[in-house]
Amino acid sequence: MVSSTLSTQIQLVNRPVGWPTHADFRTVTVDLPELSAGQVRVANEFVSVDPYMRGRMNDVKSYVPPFAIGETMTGGAVGRVVASASEAFAVGDVVTHQYGWRDLVQQDAAGFRVVPELPGIPLSAYLGVLGMTALTAYVGLLEVARLKKGDTVFVSGAAGAVGSMVGQIARLKGAKRVIGSAGSAQKVALLTGKYGFDAAFNYKDGAVSEQLAAAAPDGIDVYFDNVGGEHLQAALAAFRDGGRAAMCGAISLYNSTDAPAGPNNLSNIVTRGLTLTGFTVGNFWDHLPAFSAEMAGWLASGAVVFDETIVDGIDNAVDAFLGLMRGENIGKMVVRTRGPVTTV
């Protein structure tokens, strides 16, 4: 491996209108300076691309500030310390952090968290099944939607990073029936096979409301929403009295330039006593220890399985993100960077 202080980084140069294109981004090379006291330098091995990043490309008020034009974007990443001017970190430590969209990062030590290397588990798992993605599924299902044993659960976007975790956690926590939607026959087969869903359907095959009614003839108790739009309307029609929804995302609307049409059956919220609760995982970090312990046990026993879609090369991070927006991923979409860089 070649010693280097050169960092390849991806920056946002335009605020996309509708679907992002390559013209909205640029790749730059930055020569990092000498370490200052209290800093560490980390060679990212994997960086995350996530649906929420599309919202950060818009200059609107949200739960997280928008990406700044002309500056390197940020997001989840995992890598190894290659140089340290902090007593808290040693060269070789594996760390997670929010300085993604680059292959080499140098920042104050406070921005990094050391994590253990687990036998047989790739480091990329800290961006998915052991990270923010699965924590989102965990708290959304258990704390926001308040899953109870015997519930029937419907998950939209169920073959994605969050959805695939929701279905498996629901099964482990005593759901009576778990139903998922996905966008291809391959993904539907994966849901009912590898991930253990009781039923699944391809939302492209027909009206979501009709397919959900066939999969859940007795109705649903919990809806985990990753998609919005037609899926939300179908869930509102399928809910039993007292149903609960965890509103996590609405990827079907993220790139739309038209005003979205709202569900026309919102009155069901009143007549059936429904609860729809929006949430972001940043408000639930206190659940991380419990989640980490439980998920580690599930992984070790094989009770939870996971998939990743890996795109090689930091230069291809935009392709990975655009592919995610088009639904080309199975499980977590991650970018494997150029690999560890050694320096002193």
Closest CA to 95 of 343, 344, 340: 340
Block means of pLDDT (10 residues each) for the chain, length 344 residues?
79 94 97 96 96 90 88 96 96 96 97 92 94 95 98 96 96 98 95 97 96 97 94 96 93 60 88 96 93 93 94 96 91 82 40
- What top-level class would CATH report for the domain 6-128+307-336? alpha beta
The helix or strand, by DSSP H or E, that contains position 186, with its residue range, turns out to be helix 185-192
> In the CATH hierarchy, which fold is given to the domain comprising 136-283?
Rossmann fold (3.40.50)
- Rounded to two decimals, the pTM is 0.87
pLDDT, residue 342, reads 43
> What DSSP state is assigned to residue 14?
S
Count CB neighbours of 53 within 10 A: 23
Asked if 109 and 123 count as a contact pair (C-beta separation under 8 A), the reply is no
C-alpha span between 16 and 19 (Å, rounded) = 7
Distances (CA, A) of 143 to 146, 171, 255, 289, 308: 5, 16, 29, 15, 26
Q: Angle at Cα 204 formed by Cα 262 and Cα 245, nearest 5°?
A: 45
Asked if 243 and 202 count as a contact pair (C-beta separation under 8 A), the reply is no
Task: Please state the domain extents for the chain.
Answer: 6-128+307-336, 136-283
